[in-house]
Amino acid sequence: MNYIFSTCIGSFLLDENFRILKFERSQDPLKSNEKIISGHLTDEDIALLKYEHEAVLLRAEKLNENMGYSSDKKLLRKALSALSTPEYFSLFREASLKICRRAISKSVTPDLLIIQQVNAISELSKSANLLSKRLREWYGLYNPELSEEVEDHERFVLKVCSLSKEEVRGESSMGGSLSVSQLSSLISFAELVRSIFEEIRRQEAILEEEMKKNYPNLTAAVGFSIGAKLISLAGGIRQLAEMPSSKIQVLGAEKALFRHLKTGARPPKYGIICQHQEIISASDKEKGKAARKLASRAGIAAKIDYFRKVQNAD
């Protein structure tokens, strides 16, 4: 009995003692590998079957064709041993590198890039807020009145940057005096903080564009910012699409949930979706209902976006 052993580099016709009788080399290892994984005959299999139509196919993967095959591990090990030559090792190495490159390139999906962008914006925001507090404290020694007038960090930074050196300190300010070099250092620091806020706005604009392009239904359901954060917290669009709405509702409230499980404290009603305008504007009694409605809507939208992409890919 002869065997046909399918690999990514081609198909081998082996005799009953597992000696190679014929080798049909694959011209496209990527295509052959995909056909083997999907359970279909490769072009090389078909060529060898025409040559030896009674040969038994050896496959580690399930064969979806309407014909017999064997997945016996002992036979597969013997077939692999027959290929243990430097010539075939070199072909396998070359094909494996191509397959790995394809797999890595396919693994970089839009949701993974969005997760990185969400994390970058979050870290930039933390840095901007921390440095804004430092600027307020520093500037407060020179002109404490302005810090009290402007509460928003970004507006405060823009205000400091927009003032000339003569205007930085008001005429009636109670603050101390600074030398020219000290004042220059303060303004330079304010410019740095402003550049961080500007980068946040740039990243948010790109994020909005990517969300509308790749996940339009989720963006329409909850907005690009919350939608992107939900994808990030879930770990990807597939995980979000497969997640029940009850879990989506509390994404971002993990600390409160663990506290509830550990100490018996009240469970959280909602997580990151509390930033949505529907929940903010709802009364205290209606917030829970609004959160459930929003989480359900986000779950349905994520399913539509994810499974539509999968269908288009197929």
DSSP secondary structure string for all residues of 165-192: TTTSS-TT--S----HHHHHHHHHHHHH
Three-state secondary structure call for residue 108: coil
> Residue 24, Cβ neighbours under 10 Å: how many?
20
Can you give the C-alpha Rg of the chain in angstroms? 31
| Residue 59 · residue 33 · CB < 8 Å | no
pLDDT for the residue numbered 264 = 79
Q: Identify the structural domains of the chain with CATH numbers, from first to last.
A: 2-107 (3.30.420.220), 111-312 (1.10.246.90)
pLDDT for the residue numbered 172 = 53
Query: 284-306: string of b/e by CB count within 10 Å (b at 16+)?
Result: eeebeebbbbbbbbbbebbbbbb
| Residue 197 · residue 165 · CB < 8 Å | no
pLDDT for the residue numbered 174 = 60
Q: Which residues contact 235 (CB under 8 A, 6 or more apart)?
A: 115
CA distances from 264 to 225, 252, 267 (A): 32, 19, 8
pLDDT for the residue numbered 186 = 85
| Residue 237 · residue 310 · CB < 8 Å | no
Three-state secondary structure call for residue 286: coil
Which token pair is 167? Answer: 């205007």
pLDDT for the residue numbered 168 = 54
How does strand 3-7 pair with strand 20-25? unpaired
Q: pLDDT digit string (tens) for 223-243?
A: 999 999 999 999 999 999 999
pLDDT for the residue numbered 236 = 93
Q: pLDDT digit string (tens) for 78-114?
A: 888 888 888 889 999 999 999 999 888 887 889 999 9
Q: What's the one-letter identity of residue 32?
A: S
pLDDT for the residue numbered 147 = 75
Three-state secondary structure call for residue 56: strand
CA distance linking residue 100 with residue 310, whole number of Å: 21
pLDDT for the residue numbered 170 = 53
The series of mean pLDDT values per 10 residues for the chain, 314 residues long, is 88 89 90 88 88 84 78 87 88 92 85 95 96 90 78 89 62 62 86 96 96 95 94 94 92 83 81 89 87 93 88 54
Which token pair is 291? Answer: 């959160």
pLDDT for the residue numbered 80 = 87
Q: 242 — phi, psi (to 5°)?
A: -90, 0
CA distance linking residue 132 with residue 254, whole number of Å: 28
Q: DSSP labels for 217-228?
A: HHHHHH-HHHHH
Largest interatomic CA distance in the chain: 102
| Residue 87 · residue 34 · CB < 8 Å | no
